[in-house]
Amino acid sequence: MAEEFEDRDLSESVFWGVRLQRATFRDTDLSGASFFHTLWSDVSIDGVIDRLVVNGVDVTEYVNANDRWYPLRNRLEPSTAEGVRESWATIRQEWAALIESAVALGPDALTRSVGGEWSLRDTLRHLVFAIDKWFSWPLLGERSFCVLGLPNTGSQGGDWPGLEPAADPTWDETMAAIGERVGRVTSFVDALDIEALPDTVEVKENGEVTALMCLHVVLEESFEHLRYALRDLAVIAAE
């Protein structure tokens, strides 16, 4: 039976004679990892590439030069206010273009699931939830979640004040909710002073983290789900 390793520190572990066929690695730090005498067939790697050597060949420059999302992929944890503003502006532009393309495909494209993944509407509902959790709650001090927000699998069933698990919003209602959240973040980021951020804030379910980390999570969530949505819309468009 397949095992799941979640929130485990396996640094410096040695895997010898281990079978990892069809294994999935998500949110995993492989910095400094070495693979010897291994078989790589039909393997997909997606992530930040900073010096990747394959069979003695440094392929980093080639990969990044052909990566549609480089360098934005490497700018999701900016340390300056200007860096946060630049990354957020780029992500907003990409989302605007995606939504325009999706609407042009017709209503079915907005609510259709591809391969069991969230539809575009539900992806946006999740981003509403993510912004409420990582921005509105810890940085604005709000204590209620948008009724139509959609938690990730691991957070479903949690105590999220205001959330309605059975919500089934229309596309227009979803767009209004995400538009309002994006507007809040944009106003905050436009006036951002890194030095004025509190050292730590409380994130419901995750405990105390740095305030800047909250903004990093909003950037990462928005970026990763943008790419998932583009992937699925490409399938819908092809059909």
Q: Which of 74, 96, 116 is the last residue of a domain?
A: 74
Q: Are residues 185 and 231 in the same domain?
A: yes
| Per-residue pLDDT, 157 | 86
Tell me which of 74, 96, 122 is where a domain ends.
74
Q: According to the 3-state scheme, what is the secondary structure of 151-181?
A: CCHHHCCCCCCCCCCCCCCCHHHHHHHHHHH
* Torsion angles phi and psi, residue 97, rounded to 5: -65, -40
**Of 43, 32, 41, 38, the residue nearest 10 (C-alpha):** 32
pLDDT for the residue numbered 174: 98
| Structure-token pair, residue 222 | 């928005």
Q: What is the pLDDT of residues 175-211, one digit of tens each?
A: 999 999 999 999 999 999 999 999 999 999 999 999 9
* Total structural domains within the chain: 2
Element holding 207 (H helix, E strand): strand 207-210
- Do residue 45 and residue 107 come from a single domain? no
- Please state the φ and ψ torsions of residue 204, each to the nearest 5 degrees: -55, 130
CATH classification at residue 102: 1.20.120.450
Which residue numbers in the chain have pLDDT < 70?
1
Asked if 101 and 205 sit in the same domain, the reply is: yes
Residues 1 and 52 both lie in one domain: yes
| Average confidence score pLDDT of the chain | 96
**Angle, CA 150 vertex, CA 185 and CA 154 arms, to 5°:** 110
Cβ neighbours around 126 below 10 Å, total: 20
Q: What is the pLDDT of residue 231?
A: 97
pLDDT for res 106? 97
Q: Which domain holds residue 152?
A: 78-238
Same domain, residue pair 46 and 111: no
Tens-place pLDDT, residues 79-108? 999 999 999 999 999 999 999 999 999 999
**pLDDT computed for residue 7 by the predictor:** 83
- The C-alpha atoms of residue 212 and residue 140 are separated, in whole angstroms, by 13
